[in-house]
Amino acid sequence: MNFSESSLDAERTAWTPPSPRPEVLHLRRGGTSVVLDLGASGGPAIVHWGEELADSTDESLRGLAVAARPQRVSGGLDVTPRLSVVATPAAGWLGSPALEGHRSGAGFSALFDVAGVQANDNRAVVALVDSEARLAAQVELRVGSAGLFHQRITLRNTGDTPYTVQSLQLAFPVPWDATELLDTTGRHLRERTPQRHAFTFGTHLRESRRGRPGADATLLLAAGRPGFGFETGRVHGVHVAWSGNHRVLAERTTTGEAFLAGGELLAPGEVVLAPGASLASPWVIGSWGDGLSELSHRFHDEWRQRPQHPARPRPVTLNTWEAVYFDHSLDKLTALADAAASVGVERFVLDDGWFAGRRDDTKGLGDWYVDATVWPAGLHPLIRHVRGLGMEFGLWVEPEMVNPDSDLARAHPDWILRGRMALPRSARQQQVLDLAHPEAYAYLAERLHAILDEHDIAYLKWDHNRDLVDAGSGPEGVARVHEHTLAVYRLIDELKAAHPGLEIESCASGGARVDLGILDRTDRVWTSDCLDPIERLANQRYTALVVPPEMLGMHLTSPVVHSTGRSVGLDLSAAVALFGHFGVEWDLTSADDDTRRRVAAWVALAQRIRGLVATGRTIDVDGTDPGVDVRGIVAADATSALFTITQTETTVAYPAGRIRMPGLDPARRYRVAVLTPGRDAHEDAGQSALEWASQTVVLTGRELAVTGLRPPVQLPQRSTLVELTALA
């Protein structure tokens, strides 16, 4: 299976085997309905996924199923094919199939019949068999507590010869009027950049062949009514909860079917099922809403209900990378720890450079022993100092990678993923260890357990700094991404089980491994290596379509951003980092006393509002002037909210037109106040000249959402914080 027992598998509700088998299944929960026609030609078919059909009866649901069945048309098959839960060519389906496979080049055809159904109000398991092809399948469909629609298929080889699986994917039908697509793309330092397309006839395909989702992967593939935004417009989207190669697609057929689909992308021969063996696909998860915000809230609400979801306040974190890079010394790092503690930092993370031979990125990776030449007394003096200041200690690791110039690679070249005699093309002077190799796995597990056993470490920053290229078990071996990914999951699960309370961050040269498969095991992601607040605005907005904000690493940066060279103000950097897991990526020993005082004020604000960030609803406001970004978080009980008004560039309207602040209780009255952390009130000239910012103003939630208020006149790269507090 592609998942260990995690929250994605954890619901264990009682089954009610229907007797006799119903014609239609209605799964409903969290405002979502899924209707399954069990009598459809070609196999069970989803006839509705979306808004809850609260007043439907058994009779009307049967009518809904019948109403969705297509008629025969000229020039087509005598029975018009339709999209079923396991659509295959043998059933007449000529679109992208759910299953492709063969037995040594033969036995490619599959046609499943329903063998049994188990169901309750929100979950169903449909058992399918093809006795001729000697295959069995089990399709799991579940509507989660917040209305997310989960699907997974497990395929079993019931024959006596091996069966090669080429592809296995799940389909989610979308309304016919969903004629616009949204996905994301990007690169290192610019992940999850949105792009839109017309949803026309044919297939829009996005694939990741990088052994991880990749910086250019789409976190979500969404289809909606033309012009859908964050606040309005019906939209449906799917996400593949898998950290290896994957694919998502949107397809519109001339037989009147429109759907989104996703699953793992398998290399040739990567999964060959022996007789009796089975393969479980990753969970593919669908959400919908009137606007992208409602769609994203389903992800956030359901993810937050997992038993392992971080429950304690997110510690303000300082990471040492951009402060010292590989220049490690006890004096330098203890001084940095002192500076961090003085501004209120609660977790101090030592980044790359602490282990044997690691003076730059060309050597040492894989030799997971503390470098005695740099740390003659080990890490203990630094950890004691950090802990003595009241901070937790965290450590950077990159367990899946190895430098060829390392003792590990020299001793065990056979542990490196490769498909040929020669090593794959290098990246960052490193290769990838084969965690599916039992000895390589045992070595890494032993080293990581030993480090955690010896040191008081509360947090691992788990990095993954290169794509997997030509990833196999050795010359003339088998493709290995699938088994490698499962091994990574297993290793993380084992470490967390053995070290209760350990938190792990998923970092992958920034945000190149952001998915709910890895996030079901880790406690946050590093959203991007780019800390430029202007660049981060879009990145954080579109990452939060799926990931709750408290799991997004957001740090304020140095005055000159390392990744872009842009000079940025402290207030802008901190304001953009505020609506996430707040931290610092900066050599604070270089900051003067006044700057540290201002940093401390922002840290204090982040600590004050982190409960709001961890439980509230994200708000992204549509319709603002180009150059003005408005976003916020509203408390779950709507008693308070915080919004940022960020000026990214100058506007044509001068002063800019009014901006709205939606998401509040329409009937409540809210006091509107500008926050100025680390500055005197109204220090900004634009705010001081704005009447509502310099006096007490009270507006209803409806007035704020419908009419709004004038934003301050700001220079580019400035941000204003507005706090809204409900009056008794």
**pLDDT value at residue 683:** 52
632-663 pLDDT per residue, tens: 999 999 999 999 999 999 999 999 999 999 99
472-512 pLDDT per residue, tens: 999 999 999 999 999 999 999 999 999 999 999 999 999 99
**Stretch 592-601: mean pLDDT, rounded?**
98
**Stretch 692-710: mean pLDDT, rounded?**
96
The third-level CATH classification (topology) of the domain covering 621-726 is: Immunoglobulin-like (2.60.40)
Contact 720, 644 (CB under 8 A): yes
Contact 402, 435 (CB under 8 A): no
pLDDT category, 727, cuts 50, 70, 90?
very high
Measured N-to-C along each axis, helices 593-615 and 570-577 cross at an angle, to the nearest 10 degrees, of 20
**Stretch 10-19: mean pLDDT, rounded?**
49
pTM above 0.75, yes or no: yes
Contact 704, 692 (CB under 8 A): no
C-alpha to C-alpha distance for 589 and 596, rounded to whole angstroms:
9
**Stretch 658-674: mean pLDDT, rounded?**
98
Query: Who's near 556: CB < 8 A, 6+ residues apart?
Result: 531, 570, 573, 574, 577, 582, 583, 584, 585, 586, 599, 602
**pLDDT value at residue 680:** 58
**Stretch 185-197: mean pLDDT, rounded?**
98
> 558 vs 680, which has greater pLDDT?
558
Task: Give the count of alpha carbons within 13 A of 260, CB side only.
Answer: 30
**pLDDT value at residue 21:** 72
**pLDDT value at residue 5:** 47
180 has a pLDDT exceeding 60? yes
CATH 3.40.50.300 for the 317-613 domain, yes or no: no
Three-state DSSP at 620 gives strand
315 has a pLDDT exceeding 70? yes
| Active site residue ranges | 463, 529
**pLDDT value at residue 682:** 46
pLDDT category, 7, cuts 50, 70, 90?
low
Whole-number percent of the chain with pLDDT over 70: 96
Strongest mean pLDDT among 13-27, 673-687, 699-713: 699-713
**Stretch 237-258: mean pLDDT, rounded?**
98
Q: 127-132: list long-range contacts, CB under 8 Å, 24+ apart.
A: 128/43, 128/86, 129/158
Domain map of the chain by residue range?
Answer: 81-116+123-304, 317-613, 621-726
595 has a pLDDT exceeding 90? yes
CA 663 to chain centre: 23
Of 15-19, 218-222, 481-485, 722-726, least confident by mean pLDDT is 15-19
Q: Name residue 479's amino acid.
A: A
Of 288-297, 407-416, 451-460, 647-656, least confident by mean pLDDT is 647-656
Q: Name residue 13's amino acid.
A: T
31-88 pLDDT per residue, tens: 999 999 999 999 999 999 999 999 999 999 999 999 999 999 999 999 999 999 999 9
**Stretch 717-728: mean pLDDT, rounded?**
97
Architecture in CATH of 81-116+123-304: Distorted Sandwich (2.70)
The tokens of 296 are what? 């994203």
C-alpha to C-alpha distance for 400 and 408, rounded to whole angstroms:
12
Query: Who's near 413: CB < 8 A, 6+ residues apart?
Result: none
The closest of 190, 257, 248, 191 to 220, measured between CA atoms, is 248
578 has a pLDDT exceeding 60? yes
